Amino acid sequence: MPDDNDAPGAPAAESLSMRAWTGPEPGRLIGRGHPAGDFLRAYEWDLLEEREGYLRIEVDLPLHVRNPRGQLFGGFTPTYVDMIALFTVRAGRPRQPGARRSWLATTNMRIDYFDPITGPRFTIESTLERRRGRTAFVATRFFQDGELAVHALTTMREMPHDRPLGDA
């Protein structure tokens, strides 16, 4: 079934997604147009602090990512972790359209849940703990009302854009 990107003259989905990554509004981490980001309403996240290898953001808890008890459904937690870890690896560096020659592939993720995320807002801090060659290791922490609620570790590998999908 065709979507809006199939219309004549419409930009490709990849172009919309890349624009979301490279051209957010001031004080925001990402703009509209990235499918996972739009699902999480990431275009509304408040960027509290950004420096090289570090991010701190405040996030809303949308109704559609909550379980029947009103808490963040555990299965959506990795989506937050993955997106934020990707941004953390490049945090503090200028984002320029067309300048990226590589993308990041998540190769491992571990998540520990301590307390439920109940919203309506919560804070996420993420730190690039180590980078070695093309591999990056990121620690991401979710805080609800100032208390550590989720701790995640993500390993990513930088891949050239021109490499076919599935090749290491």
Cβ–Cβ < 8 Å for 28, 47: yes
Cis peptide before 94 (omega within 30 of 0): no
Of 10, 9, 11, 15, the C-alpha closest to 97 is: 15
Of 132, 139, 135, the C-alpha closest to 85 is: 139
Q: What is the pLDDT of residue 111?
A: 98
Q: What is the pLDDT of residue 157?
A: 95
Mean pLDDT of 32-45: 89
In a domain, 69, yes or no: yes
**How many independent structural domains does the chain possess?**
1
In a domain, 91, yes or no: yes
Of 7, 23, 44, the C-alpha closest to 98 is: 23
In a domain, 8, yes or no: no
Average pLDDT over all residues of the chain: 84
Query: Tens digit of pLDDT for each residue in 91-107?
Result: 988 766 555 567 889 99
* Rounded-to-integer distance, Cα 16 and Cα 47, Å: 21
Res. 68 pLDDT band, cuts 50 70 90: very high
Nearby residues of 166 by Cβ (< 8 Å), 6 or more positions away: none
Q: What is the pLDDT of residue 7?
A: 39
Q: What is the pLDDT of residue 141?
A: 98
In a domain, 31, yes or no: no
Residue 116 domain boundaries: 46-160
Q: What is the pLDDT of residue 8?
A: 41
